[in-house]
Amino acid sequence: MDTIVETSRLLLRYQCAADVPFLTDLWSDEAVTRYLGGPRERDWLRMVFEETAANPTAEKYDLWPLVEKSSGKLVGHCGLLEKEIEGESLVELNYMLHPSAWGEGYATEIGKALVQYAFEDCGLGNLVALIHPENTPSELTAQRIGMYFSGEVIRPGGAVRKLYRFDNLSE
């Protein structure tokens, strides 16, 4: 399967049908989705992931399966997503890891690689991260990869999120 981003320990690649059970479990896990709006409905997830697996390159920006190279195991779902934020179309950096991969530095590692990918391969001028105010680990990750706090925003439905930014200074 085609590689999107590779680091010393991780591989981010396009989705395939074999990923559907892992991704369905990940997105329906209460602990994993605690700061992401809660668990999603499993049948709906399966349908969405099966559609993506059938045409994995359909979207320019997406979340992709994250593989631990040493074991070959899936450990997360990370990538870039277009978001409308206060009337502006921006691209959000996302990192979502399975609990077995928490505390390994994987979010920072793939986050840095995705920043490079966004700027060098996609030609983006900036990236953002929308972070739940209580999600301290995600905030620390954003800071470690070079993002800065830009303020709070209100999302559709009224949820408050901390907005972190990373500007491409070489642009």
Question: pTM for the complete prediction?
Answer: 0.94
**Burial track 14-43 (b if 16+ CB lie within 10 A, e otherwise):** bbeeebbebbbebbbeeebeebeeebbeee
d(CA 128, CA 83): 9
Q: In the prediction, which pLDDT does 157 show? A: 87
What distance lies between CA 170 and its chain's CA centroid?
23
Q: In the prediction, which pLDDT does 168 show? A: 82
The count of other CB atoms within 10 Å of the CB of residue 105 is: 11
Q: In the prediction, which pLDDT does 1 show? A: 57
Question: Angle between the 106-116 and 136-144 helix axes, to the nearest 10 degrees?
Answer: 50
Q: In the prediction, which pLDDT does 95 show? A: 94
With CA atoms as reference, report the closest residue to 147 among 165, 124, 170, 129. 165
All structural domains of the chain with their residue ranges? 3-167
pLDDT per residue over 26-55, tens digit each?
999 999 999 999 999 999 999 999 999 999
Q: Is 164 left (phi over 0), alpha (psi -120 to 50) or beta?
A: beta
Q: In the prediction, which pLDDT does 171 show? A: 52
Low-confidence ranges of the chain (pLDDT < 70): 1, 170-171
d(CA 50, CA 105): 29
Q: In the prediction, which pLDDT does 32 show? A: 96
Structural fold of domain 3-167:
Aminopeptidase (3.40.630)
